[in-house]
Structure 1
Amino acid sequence: MNRSARSYDESDVRIRPGKGTRPRTKTRPAHDDAQTAMVVAVDRGRWGCVIDDDPDHRVTAMRARELGRTPVVVGDRVGVVGDLSGRPDTLARIVRVDERSTVLRRTADDTDPYERIVVANADQLLIVTALADPPPRTGFVERALAAAYAGGLTPILCLTKSDLADPSGFAAHFADLELPVLVAGRDDPLDDLRAALDGHLTALIGHSGVGKSTLVNRLIPDADRAVGRVSGIGKGRHTSTQSVALALKPGTDARPAAAGSGPAGPTSWVVDTPGIRSFGLAHVTPEEIVDAFGDLRAAIGDCPRGCTHLGPPADPECALDRLTGSSHRRAMAVRELLNAIGAGPEVIEAVSYGDVPD
């Protein structure tokens, strides 16, 4: 048999390297050129972001692979790179999520260990409650207050549908907590509410059907938030299904601006969230609620170890009982709040946050 005269050696053998032998590096790009942005909307793996808080400079972004499954929610401050023109069909990348100053969290119920972040970096929580149709529920407000105190947000109670009931009785439940109360019924001017929102990032929460979207549309007429009616059995219908941050510019109320109100100020933001029917607080501890009040925070330093601050008979030596005057009244109001949330959520029915009923 004839064979080629050429001799072969190992250099003639080509070996294709497997995936496991390819050199890899843990070095990731620094993205020093990333622009700062705020997340204003989330929808199916895409994030709407505004550059430098400018509502007119909005881009759509995806989450960079190096972030993995890092949660990115409305209100987050992020770093974005790529095409930042904001033109149609362009896509930027979120490469960094900055540390959050505050977090509004909830769980499905009080036994659920999984925390859902509703809004990041909001400094205020506007708790919207109707005075009638559907009837107001102190339990929901108490739970919203607990979430605000634990998350570092300043709570404000906003009462709607004041044409159907007197707001003073319901507001009196929270007088000792020094909770700001604003009335924003259909025929009420919104001057005080606008002043409270000015210069802030404010999250709005409320039961379905309390008029939250109607309120947003009055504040921001071009927001065009869907408005629904309360069902015949006293339950609200979900009309907002996604959280979204909306720019609140001075003078954008449907009513004309007051004469001599002064020049336009900086843009403020309101975050409209889906209507909810349950508010789990599995993540909240009594200390986080008490810590929201400076005088009470100082007092519980004298409590015995393991004190739950609920008072006798569970905590016969709780230091809150030794307070006097307004501090004592506030301590007792906080104790009522702790007992109320410990009793379990006050719900109409178990519906997940943002779910739309049949």
Structure 2
Amino acid sequence: MSPSHPQPHSQPHSQQHKILIIGGGFSGMAAAIELRKRGQQVDLVEIDPGWRSYGAGISLGGATLRAFRQLGILDPFLQVGHASDGVELLAPNGATLALLPTPRIAGADVPGGGAIMRPVLARLLAEATRASGTQVFLGSTFTEIRQDAEGVDVRFTDGSQRRYDLVIGADGLYSKVRQAVFPQAPTPRYSGQAVWRAVLPRPDSVDHAMMWVGPKIKVGVNPVSQTEMYLFLTEDREHNTHVPPADFYRLLDALLAPFSAPLVQQLRSLLTPESQIVFRPLEGLLMPRPWHQGRVVLIGDTVHATTPHLASGACIGIEDALVLAQELEPGDGLDAALQRFENRRWERCRMVVENSGRLGEIEITGGDKAEHARIMRASLMSLAEPV
């Protein structure tokens, strides 16, 4: 048979699905962008009418920048965020302990890591989501999901109802979709640590990620733009109790006091009661497989929320979106596609959640520093692997 007459049925045709994404966070928006790129019809509902993203800065590894490149937002990110190579580890007095290399996973021309303000990253993704032709419904979420063999009927908070081929739950750590479809799923677990983050003007000397490692407290900084940086501090807190925002400045100032490094004290002097300070107890979740039931699949923090010890929570959620869009393409049936998606994602996501959790445990118990270094190295090598 001549090459111009391919064998019939040699390759299933790409199939267009009508897809609903519930949740307009990083993984939900990434899914919308990538699915539209591949010709799928996409609606996205987001409960917050202002589509806001809260928080200060977010540190990103090379694997995240690789995902940005695939999504088409790497150039805008490099314009408004900040990318640099290496992480400098220092003692509380400022002596350099080590320089951790960050391989250039996203390409020889792109530094190995970076950081950006969360709201700025959310804006970049939101602009790309709208530009992709996704239909976005703000101030809306589902009230009921009912599925049969052929599709999913979803009722919304405005009373309307629409039918879809697939529903993607991307509504975060406290997911209502997870609750509705997997009532037996585990709930988020407090890790025994909390993180403080503050946005500050960036001194010239802060042009890469730096971390001062104390006996119980870790302080770090990362540039997020040409003019700003964010400071983060991880502390052990036995109980997950409410901390009044009025106390944020006083408590963070006291936590920074023991670090005699001149740069830490310079940054401490920049903090004021008016500074933008965010406090967050660290919680984690790893939902056992399956991550889908029938025509509903969960991605991102809904199934694998991680503490920030490997700076990879947003990364693995965005990767979920890219892999899911890819696996839906062959058009050989949803169940096969969703199985392949889970097969490709489970081990990597489990590794990030469990290794991040273990790093936190070692920090809390003052455990073996060599094990900490070993886990860090193995995890970062694993994250550099192709997705």
TM-score, length basis structure 2: 0.22
Considering only CA atoms, is the larger Rg found in Structure 1 or Structure 2?
1
TM-score, length basis structure 1: 0.23
Which structure exhibits the higher relative contact order, with contacts defined as CA atoms closer than 8 Å and separated by 6 or more residues?
2
Q: Which has the higher helix share?
A: 2
